[in-house]
Amino acid sequence: MYPWENIEPKLGKDGLYIVGIDVIGCITYINRVNKNKYKFEEKVIDFLESKVLNNLEAFNRRSRLRKIFEEA
């Protein structure tokens, strides 16, 4: 049995599904992910996705224009 299997049910019951467990000798630290951190990470991911989509749209526009000029 792994050490975290003893505390897993308690963490789940407390709503802590994503945690980091550091075991240093006989001292154990549990690092939990804050709900606000999720919202921040979601905003960062949304921002990056929007930039990638904008760049992709610009690339597609340039490609279409290049094709039009080459065919003319």
Domain-by-domain residue ranges, the chain?
1-33, 34-72
State the Cα–Cα distance between residues 66 and 71, nearest whole angstrom.
9
List of residues 6+ apart from 11 with CB closer than 8 A: 17, 19, 30
The pLDDT tens digits for 24-72 are 777 667 777 666 666 767 777 788 899 999 999 999 999 999 999 898 7
Tokens of 30: 């549990």
Confidence of residue 13 (pLDDT cuts 50, 70, 90): confident
The pTM of the whole model exceeds 0.85:
no
